[in-house]
Chain A
Amino acid sequence: MARLKNIEELKKIRTEAQKELLIRTQTGTRIIVGMGTCGIAAGAREVMQAILKELETRKIEAHVETVGCVGMCAKEPLVDIEQAGKSRIRYANISPENVPRLVEEHLVKGNVIQEWAIGRLDARKIQ
């Protein structure tokens, strides 16, 4: 059986998180990283970690999720950014070095980085 390191710590996190959960799901940001074989081989895990680190450094609270192969293997690592009420933007060939600019431009300033973006999904089609 797993040993939870600090169950009290987890309970505290749960209480704090529940307060914010409704607000976050309605207005929050999702960052989606392709994690199929192609993505893994191209460095998607490192990109995901760079995103987590950048979010932590800048104190930005966003949900990070992983998905399987979407069929654009040559464009991996693929990173989608989805913000409530806005189009979902797909960025291609993202490396860990690209992540600070991606977060700065897209999440902080609200600008799509045109030279990295390869697709846009209309907000109404998302869920």
Chain B
Amino acid sequence: MRELSLHILDLLENAVEAGASRIELKVEEDLKADWMVIEVADNGRGMSQEVMEKALDPFCTTRTTRHVGLGLPLLLEAARRCGGDLVIQSNPGKGTRVRATFRHSHIDRAPLGDLAGALMAILLSEHPVDLDFCHCIDSEVFQLDSSEIREELGDVPLSHPKVRDWLFDILREGETALADKREERPPTL
């Protein structure tokens, strides 16, 4: 995975596969403290202690169509090689929370990349899911809760071409504005 946004998309897809109806995604970039935190929490079916212990083993998966599960192990490695870590908390029937941390300035930290595109991919999922998204870079914040948009749209799905284009524009504009703020700051030494 060459961008952290692809890891984020993978975490969101896991939540959808776990039957979640609501997912919270937080991306926090603290440039002064030099940390980046990615946290995904869902209300899906959750994992037992036994399954959770195996979740970081690439040769374990709950799927029956294949015998490997690479998403979480790849993210764990990406975090650890940047001086960070990955923590999973889960309760059967209640949901799962995954938190990955990275040293922001670490030379091996992949760029965040096209987060708007990743979010769009999950908002177009065939299993409708509400996404509560928050991205902050120091004091600058971009937030979007798709449940509010769905409420406004009534029976019109997010995948409707007109809605889709409108939503994608909002995500791109929000993320571009944040990226501009990031670029204005001096690099961490």
A contact set with B: CB distance below 8 Å: 1-5, 7, 9-11, 13-14, 16-18, 21, 24, 32-33, 35-37, 40-41, 44-46, 48-49, 52, 55-56, 61-71, 73
Contact = CB atoms under 8 A, between A and B. Distances in A.
Contacts, number: 124
13 contacts: A2-B146, A2-B148, A4-B152, A5-B173, A10-B166, A16-B162, A37-B70, A40-B10, A52-B165, A64-B124, A65-B124, A65-B126, A66-B13
Given A37-B70, A62-B161, A71-B66, A18 B121 contact: no
A63 B118 contact: no
B121 A45 contact: yes
A16 B153 CA distance: 11
Contacts of A69: 63, 65-66
B160 interface: yes
A40 B113 CA distance: 13
A66 B66 contact: no
Most chain A CB neighbours (cut-off 10 Å) among B71, B124, B125: B124
Contacts of B152: 4, 7, 10-11, 14
Contacts of A3: 143-144
A67 B121 contact: no
B122 interface: yes
Given A18-B154, A63-B160, A66-B13, 20 more contacts: A2-B146, A3-B143, A5-B170, A10-B153, A10-B163, A13-B156, A14-B163, A17-B153, A33-B121, A35-B9, A35-B122, A37-B10, A37-B71, A45-B6, A45-B114, A63-B161, A64-B159, A65-B125, A66-B121, A73-B66
B121 A17 contact: no
Contacts of A4: 148-149, 152
Contacts of B132: 2
B38 to A, nearest CB: 15
Interface string B95-117: 00000000000000000001001
A101 to B, nearest CB: 21
A66 B120 CA distance: 10
Nearest to A60: B161
A5 to B, nearest CB: 5
Given A64-B124, A65-B126, A40 B162 contact: no
B51 interface: no
A41 B13 contact: no
